[in-house]
Amino acid sequence: MATVDDAPAVADLVHRAYRSDESRTGWTTEADLVGGQRVDAAMVSELVTSPTGVVLVAEDDDGLLACCHLERRDAVAYLGMFAVRPRHQGRGTGRAMLSAAEEHAARAWGAATLEISVINHRHELIAWYERCGFARTGVEHAFPYGDERYGLPQRDDLVLLEMVKRLGPAA
Ligand SMILES: CC(C)(COP(=O)(O)OP(=O)(O)OC[C@H]1O[C@@H](n2cnc3c(N)ncnc32)[C@H](O)[C@@H]1OP(=O)(O)O)[C@@H](O)C(=O)NCCC(=O)NCCS
């Protein structure tokens, strides 16, 4: 689990994986949809010190390899800020991190459902989440237009699609 000391590296990894030019070397990126920052170190520090959440991290010899944020919302756990170093994507690290998050949500918190939200235009990513057991709920959340802490949208038709996965005893 990340601590406040890890916050700058987590923010950097998230930026590299989501929006940087380097993100284009991965198999999925939002660099063409949203510019600017996804999160900064101060925001990550708030997340790691929150009593209702954790930031899970995986490291290798080159430093931070993967991360995700999990937040407890009663019987639902919300997963966000999910990132793998771009050049290491597509090797199963994301699936392994997702399994660790599911296990934490189910065992530590007793959560029955894992929820994510995905930008509507990220078709390849939505397909992957479906292969991982998530389904769209039909609920759409507004993209945070006008709040530069979450980036600079490059088009005006972005919405966040809600997807959920039931967590069974085996999660
Ligand atoms: C989403 C992310 C965390 C997944 O991590 P990862 O390490 O790449 O995940 P995995 O290697 O476990 O799985 C990659 C999947 O993509 C598939 N894939 C690989 N190349 C692909 C391509 N060019 N097009 C579509 N799918 C592809 C793989 O077959 C695999 O699917 P499978 O698990 O059904 O076999 C990572 O890609 C990432 O950091 N993306 C940028 C940030 C982001 O978008 N985060 C999520 C926001 S909601």
Task: Identify whether 148 is part of a domain.
Answer: yes
Residues with Cβ within 8 Å of 54's Cβ and at least 6 positions away in sequence, in order, are: 1, 2, 48, 69, 70, 104
Total number of domains constituting the chain: 1
pLDDT in tens, 12-25: 999 999 999 999 99
Backbone angles phi, psi at 84, to 5 degrees: -125, 140
Q: Which residue, by CA, sits nearest to atom 15 of ligand 1?
A: 90
Instruction: Find the CATH number of the domain harbouring 144.
Output: 3.40.630.30
Task: Identify whether 150 is part of a domain.
Answer: yes
Query: Which range of residues forms the domain containing residue 24?
Result: 4-166
The reported pTM is 0.96
Task: Identify whether 171 is part of a domain.
Answer: no
Q: Which residue, by CA, sits nearest to atom 17 of ligand 1?
A: 90
pLDDT in tens, 103-129: 999 999 999 999 999 999 999 999 999
Task: Identify whether 156 is part of a domain.
Answer: yes
- Dist CA 34 CA 166 (whole Å): 30
Over residues 140-160, the mean pLDDT reads 94
* pLDDT in the model for residue 171: 46
Task: Identify whether 135 is part of a domain.
Answer: yes
Which residues line the pocket of ligand 1, CB cutoff 6 A?
Answer: 17-18, 26-28, 82-84, 89-95, 116, 118, 124-125, 128, 131
Task: Identify whether 65 is part of a domain.
Answer: yes
